[in-house]
Amino acid sequence: DSGVTQTPKHLITATGQRVTLRCSPRSGDLSVYWYQQSLDQGLQFLIQYYNGEERAKGNILERFSAQQFPDLHSELNLSSLELGDSALYFCASSLGQAYNSPLHFGNGTRLTVT
């Protein structure tokens, strides 16, 4: 058990809908990262927060947004969903920044858009 908790485990929704994915980092970790894993794109970095502030941004679509709350949990919001958004979404956490801390991943949320 990595100590990173993601909910829900599975999510099935229709095109055009909006969903929220939740992540609780390991105790003491200040950084939270979101990654998307799809069959044809591999593991793609979306966004990172450190102690409540956005620190790095990857290939995150404008339809997606995220935030990290004062208790350090994070939420990833996906809106106007398309079939191509179906993927495994991972949250990871680390004590410090990605350049000097190992990342620990949650078990992911599998999103299916129908």
Which residues sit at the interface with other proteins, rule CB under 8 A? Answer: 2, 33, 35, 42-43, 45, 48, 55-56, 58, 88, 90, 92, 98-105, 107-108, 110
**List of residues 6+ apart from 4 with CB closer than 8 A:** 23, 24, 25, 26, 91, 92, 93, 104, 105, 106
Which of 12, 43 has the CB closer to other proteins? 43
The minimum distance between CB 2 and other proteins, in angstroms, equals 7
**Pick 14 or 39: Cβ nearer other proteins:** 39
Nearest distance from C-beta of residue 98 to other proteins, angstroms: 4
The alpha-helical segments, DSSP class H, found in the chain are none
Query: What one-letter code names the amino acid at 6?
Result: Q
* Closest distance to other proteins from the beta carbon of 72 (Å): 19
Tally of CA atoms within 13 A in the half-sphere of 72 that contains its CB? 18
